[in-house]
Structure 1
């Protein structure tokens, strides 16, 4: 599906539109929502501030494996999708890209909780971009996985 930008600037409304129009139906079935996109540093931001996005994956039994644990595949898809939005925020607009590498370190299981993905761009490049995502349980805000990824900019 082709996508034409609708906003002069990338903001949360545009991000929500991209989520609904660009991603495959099975990604939309994950129950993702966009909590925030950060294109510019907020007032008083630290010197090492990085552009990014925060996505939420609503808890669903359909995303769980035995024992009611949210499956790793869903967590990895959440992280990948969140990183796309972080790169779009850093780029301040839509740009096609594809995942080249994603490494996930699972820290602990998450059960019966929404999962938050805080994605940050480490380096935005012309041909490659790199980022990191912290996945946390929305119930206690404790990390459940750390993800690093690389994207080819198309």
Structure 2
């Protein structure tokens, strides 16, 4: 017998997801990540411009952008399945495309596929005020058994 409930997961809103992310991922809290949008179609997470996220030369560091992307991807999935902290990254493919401007970096994540055990999402990272992506990533996330919705979205 499984100890996982088959009842529907508690839905999350932007404030609930931000609290979950900051409370369970210490690096997200250290970077001061903020959730700008969190709905069925998209999760947008903001990395505020700060010296904490910089690398030598004054550019936003790769680890900061990867953390931002991972949190946004997680958000896009949880916006669909609800409060499930144990939905975890199994793969992250990350492409750095350009040096971010001296501005907040926004991560816009969208779900590509939601199955019973895996979810796949993509994210574009942009410097605030620009339409040109500075990075792109695709992530695969494992969903705990019995926690995915009965039907994958179209």
TM-score strictly above 0.5: yes
Report 1:5-154 matches (<5 A). Answer: 9-23=11-25, 25-39=26-40, 51-91=41-81, 93-95=82-84, 96-154=86-144
RMSD: 1.6
Secondary structure in structure 1 of the residue aligned to 2:38: strand
Query: Is residue 88–residue 94 contact of structure 1 (8 Å, CA) maintained in 2?
Result: yes
Query: Is residue 68–residue 111 contact of structure 1 (8 Å, CA) maintained in 2?
Result: no
1:146 deviates by 0.7
Which of the two has greater strand per residue? 1
Query: Is residue 120–residue 131 contact of structure 1 (8 Å, CA) maintained in 2?
Result: yes
1:27 deviates by 2.1
Query: Is residue 137–residue 143 contact of structure 1 (8 Å, CA) maintained in 2?
Result: yes
Question: Which 4+ stretches in 1 moved above 6 angstroms?
Answer: none
Q: Which runs of 5+ in 2 are unaligned?
A: 1-8, 145-154
